[in-house]
Amino acid sequence: MNKKDKIYVAGHRGMVGSAIVRKLEAEGYDNFVFRTSSQLDLRRQADVEAFFETEKPDYVFLAAAKVGGILANNTYRAEFIYDNLMIEANIINAAWKNKVKKLLFLGSSCIYPKLADQPLREDYLLTGLLESTNEPYAIAKIAGIKMCDAYRAQYGCNFISVMPTNLYGPNDNYDLETSHVLPALIRKFHEAKKRKLSEVLMWGTGKPKREFLHVDDLADACYFLMKTYNEPGLVNIGTGKDIPIIELARMIKNVVGYEGDITHDLSKPDGTPRKLMDVSKLEKAGWKARIELEDGIRSVYDGLKGESWF
Ligand code: GFB
């Protein structure tokens, strides 16, 4: 990738896309092409094709997606499969037709079987049944991986797939119904502290384990792989460490400085029991996560002061 190459970051306003743009800008890239979702609906094939024909990007980071936490995935099942399939199919096909030099597709750790051995190795893909709460999303993401591989095999396209673990960072979603656990708990503990509430209600048992990666680390890894990795298949991106959700809750409670109790809403799902990434492939290639979870949570919390709900 050269500094003058034209780069399209799809989803540049989202948590992942905006982190990729920050990283590229810090590395001296400035020839970007962006479209907001109101300017370009990525689910519309003709519009996506017209955009690629006009702009002819050299490199594409495919970070646009319909995303959300466990409840959003489970509730908006049709939107999670339809939107994600359309977005990735349209962009990948248009990238091939318009001779994009390289494309990086972002998937998710939920593509692995629900009860797979841990840590999750890349070759566990399609070896068992998926977690039901996010099966539509996972199926769409698996289709994206297989599209990149198929376009590489048939047309020689240099399209790569990366699978991030659970992410957090600036520009996250703090809507309590649709967000992921980490931003949800930051908000819940902060509001409980402000209103002097005696308890915070978290979802599920707190027993499932999750791995959390700061999105600036993810962006760094994506940049590294865009420059160095040119293979079919997928690469996990994570820290290689996970914690039970209840411990995450205690950590956030401590960062926020809330002193009440934690209680459980057992009507909400736990989801997959564990999804720890095996990151040996990425580490062997020469990349390692740097931001410690508690430091990352602290910096995210410090950055929230301007938010309307804060
Ligand atoms: O982050 P989360 O929504 O997504 O939930 P997943 C992780 C765990 O935290 C679950 C629990 O066991 C939740 O029950 N949890 C506790 C909470 N309190 C809360 C809360 O207030 N809000 C939320 N959201 N969770 C998603 C997938 O799964 O992760 C997607 O559905 C995707 O497909 C994404 O892979 C990264 O890790 O369970």
Q: Is 208 in the pocket of ligand 1 (CB under 6 A)?
A: yes
Which candidate in 137, 151, 168, 174 is catalytic?
137
For atom 15 of ligand 1, the residue with the nearest CA is: 203
Contact (Cβ atoms closer than 8 angstroms) between residue 108 and residue 164: yes
pLDDT computed for residue 213 by the predictor: 98
Contact (Cβ atoms closer than 8 angstroms) between residue 8 and residue 60: yes
Ligand 1 pocket mutation pick from 106, 162, 181 by most atoms within 8 angstroms of CB: 181
Task: Give the residue-averaged pLDDT of 215-229.
Answer: 98
For atom 35 of ligand 1, the residue with the nearest CA is: 110
Task: Give the residue-averaged pLDDT of 247-263.
Answer: 98
Contact (Cβ atoms closer than 8 angstroms) between residue 69 and residue 271: no
The pLDDT-based confidence of 22 (bands split at 50, 70, 90) is very high
Beta bridge pairs of residue 159: 103
The pLDDT tens digits of the residues spanning 185-198 come to 999 999 999 999 99
pLDDT computed for residue 181 by the predictor: 98
CA of 228 to the centre of ligand 1 (A): 32
Contact (Cβ atoms closer than 8 angstroms) between residue 199 and residue 262: yes
pLDDT computed for residue 260 by the predictor: 98
Name the H helices within 98-195.
Answer: 135-155, 181-194
Q: Is 258 a catalytic residue?
A: no
pTM reported for the whole predicted model: 0.98
The pLDDT tens digits of the residues spanning 1-15 come to 999 999 999 999 999
Please identify, by atom number, the ligand 1 atom nearest to the C-alpha of residue 204.
14
Please identify, by atom number, the ligand 1 atom nearest to the C-alpha of residue 110.
35
The pLDDT-based confidence of 125 (bands split at 50, 70, 90) is very high
Task: Give the residue-averaged pLDDT of 11-31.
Answer: 98
CA of 62 to the centre of ligand 1 (A): 23
How large a percentage of the chain has pLDDT more than 90?
99
The pLDDT-based confidence of 30 (bands split at 50, 70, 90) is very high
Q: Cα(93)–Cα(51) distance, rounded to whole angstroms? A: 12
